[in-house]
């Protein structure tokens, strides 16, 4: 797997700083060429297309992963797959004499590079980046929950409903949100279609027509699937059927790694067993596909973020700190691993003092949001004019396994993401020709 390349690039990633002052061991997003933000621009480049204000992968990464020009590129997004977790899984699979070696078989014919996620390292923000090539500061999706000043609502950016409401999926549309026009930057689907490239979006049938999907893959041919067998058969037919296009880009999205990681943590056997099953289905697809065409095809496998196991601890429940809450103008937003604080006027210093009273510097750091934005934590200029409103006055930076829980509902999560640890931030980009 060319470990020397991976080691050199990982050292470059971990030593990179985007300008903002972060605690030691926090990983800065490498927006300039070694992050998931750069994957779309390199895909566009393969097909002779481009979008403004996007940046491709660093030349050494492109040379390593994109060895030629491809007729068909698929991007298989495994939600929550961390780089270190993946390498550890490969080692464990290889060391177990009784286990099938599906993922090692796949990697025998693959190339891999570490990349950083974006900040926040959360699905709504990262998927928007994958479909636009823009950073969160540019596309304006800056968290799982986000204050939408234009609608006067704290919204859930996956469900597109009020964050505090139950059973209100899509309720933001009643406030005036139009999913097709919510993101202020163009998507790669339109740019690729202009080059005669067919764009296909393969997602589970339960989300294929969701508000978030409609926001991102507008202009793509939506192809729902019910299970992995359905997904890979659909993809196989899309590539080799009678009406298969000459050139295509296909988005394939798999959520179960993340869905299991949240309640159980990614060290749980359920996560490993599910990943083994995914490896079997993928390896079988690749075996079949390699014999069915002479076209130049590339499958990219990557992730939106990694997963961190965060043991539940009432110490991190905001309800236990009324002297912190009293300084807030509204509930926090963002993610448990990267919260945004909206502070009452004149209470800024008191809030910082309250945080520092209750928590050590090894648990939380706190930054002014305007400094985090200006210094590049959420991406380079140009920025969307609403981004500053969506990150509040202060950003809380959890360290170690700390988090902040502010919901009035029971805390169901053992695995989390959104923050800046290596576990959350470093993801793989795997290239498989077939």
Q: Are the C-beta atoms of residues 271 and 407 closer than 8 Å to each other?
A: no
User: Quick one: 296 and 395 in the same domain?
Assistant: no
User: Quick one: 324 and 197 in the same domain?
Assistant: no
User: Quick one: 347 and 233 in the same domain?
Assistant: no
Q: Dihedral through CA 412, CA 212, CA 196, CA 41, nearest 10?
A: -60
Domains contained in the chain, number: 2
Q: Which residues contact residue 323 at a Cβ distance below 8 angstroms, ignoring those fewer than 6 apart?
A: 354, 357
User: Quick one: 287 and 358 in the same domain?
Assistant: no
In this structure, what token pair is assigned to residue 175? 């406030």
What is the distance of C-alpha 202 from the center of its chain?
17
- Report helix angle 269-290 to 228-240, nearest 10: 20
Phi, psi of 10 (to 5 degrees): -65, -40
pTM score of the predicted model:
0.97
- Domain coverage including residue 271: 3-309+422-433
User: Quick one: 343 and 257 in the same domain?
Assistant: no
Q: Are the C-beta atoms of residues 281 and 301 closer than 8 Å to each other?
A: no
Q: What is the pLDDT of residue 309?
A: 98
Q: What is the pLDDT of residue 166?
A: 86
Distance, in Å, from the CA atom of 301 to the CA atom of 315, rounded to the nearest integer, reads 37
Segment 323-329 long-range contacts (CB within 8 Å, at least 24 positions apart):
323/354, 323/357, 324/351, 324/354, 324/355, 324/358, 327/351, 327/354
In this structure, what token pair is assigned to residue 343? 């502070």
User: Quick one: 237 and 281 in the same domain?
Assistant: yes
User: Quick one: 426 and 381 in the same domain?
Assistant: no
Q: What is the pLDDT of residue 2?
A: 87
pLDDT means per 10 residues in the chain (434 residues)? 93 96 96 98 98 97 96 98 98 94 97 98 98 98 98 96 91 95 96 96 96 92 97 95 92 98 98 98 95 86 98 97 98 98 98 97 97 98 98 98 96 98 98 96
Q: Are the C-beta atoms of residues 327 and 354 closer than 8 Å to each other?
A: yes
User: Quick one: 295 and 326 in the same domain?
Assistant: no
Q: What is the pLDDT of residue 290?
A: 87
User: Quick one: 26 and 89 in the same domain?
Assistant: yes
User: Quick one: 350 and 364 in the same domain?
Assistant: yes
CATH classification of the domain holding 264: 3.40.720.10
User: Quick one: 167 and 73 in the same domain?
Assistant: yes
User: Quick one: 358 and 279 in the same domain?
Assistant: no
In this structure, what token pair is assigned to residue 373? 């934005």
Q: Are the C-beta atoms of residues 103 and 93 closer than 8 Å to each other?
A: yes
In this structure, what token pair is assigned to residue 108? 């025998």
CATH classification of the domain holding 386: 3.30.1360.180
């Amino acid at each position: 797997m060319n470990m020397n390349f991976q080691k050199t690039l990982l050292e470059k990633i971990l030593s990179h700083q985007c300008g903002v002052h972060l605690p030691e061991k926090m990983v800065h997003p490498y927006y300039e060429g070694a992050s998931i933000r750069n994957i779309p621009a390199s895909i566009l480049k393969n097909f002779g297309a481009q979008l403004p204000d996007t940046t491709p992968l660093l030349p050494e990464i492109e040379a390593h992963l994109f060895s030629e020009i491809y007729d068909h590129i698929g991007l298989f997004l495994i939600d929550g797959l961390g780089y270190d977790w993946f390498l550890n899984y490969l080692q464990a699979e290889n060391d177990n004499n009784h286990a099938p070696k599906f993922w090692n078989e796949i990697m025998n014919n693959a190339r891999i590079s570490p990349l950083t996620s974006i900040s926040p390292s959360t699905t709504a923000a990262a998927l928007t980046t994958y479909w636009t090539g823009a950073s969160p500061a540019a596309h304006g999706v800056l968290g799982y929950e986000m204050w939408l000043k234009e609608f006067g609502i704290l919204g859930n950016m996956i469900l597109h409903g009020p964050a505090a409401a139950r059973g209100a999926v899509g309720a933001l549309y009643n406030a005036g949100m139009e999913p097709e026009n919510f993101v202020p930057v163009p998507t790669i689907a339109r740019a690729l279609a202009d080059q005669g490239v067919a764009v296909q979006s393969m997602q589970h049938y339960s989300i294929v027509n969701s508000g978030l999907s409609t926001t991102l893959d507008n202009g793509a041919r939506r192809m729902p699937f019910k299970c992995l067998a359905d997904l890979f058969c659909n993809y196989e037919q899309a590539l080799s059927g009678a009406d298969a296009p000459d050139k295509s880009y296909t988005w394939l999205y798999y959520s179960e790694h993340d869905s299991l990681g949240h309640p159980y943590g990614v060290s749980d056997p359920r996560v490993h067993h599910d990943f083994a099953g995914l490896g079997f289905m993928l390896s079988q697809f690749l075996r079949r596909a390699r014999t069915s065409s002479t076209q130049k095809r590339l499958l990219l496998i990557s992730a939106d973020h990694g997963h961190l196991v965060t043991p539940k601890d009432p110490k991190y429940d905001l309800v236990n700190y009324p002297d912190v809450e009293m300084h807030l103008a509204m509930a926090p937003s963002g993610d448990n691993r990267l919260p945004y604080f909206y502070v009452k006027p004149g209470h800024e210093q008191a809030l910082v003092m309250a945080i520092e009273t209750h928590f050590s510097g090894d648990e939380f750091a706190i930054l002014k949001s305007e400094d985090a934005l200006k210094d590049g934590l959420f991406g380079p200029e140009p920025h969307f004019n609403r981004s500053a409103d969506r990150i509040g006055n202060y950003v809380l930076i959890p360290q170690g396994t700390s988090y902040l829980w502010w919901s009035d509902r029971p805390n169901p999560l053992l695995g989390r993401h959104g923050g800046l640890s290596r576990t959350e931030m470093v993801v793989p980009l795997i290239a498989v020709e077939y």
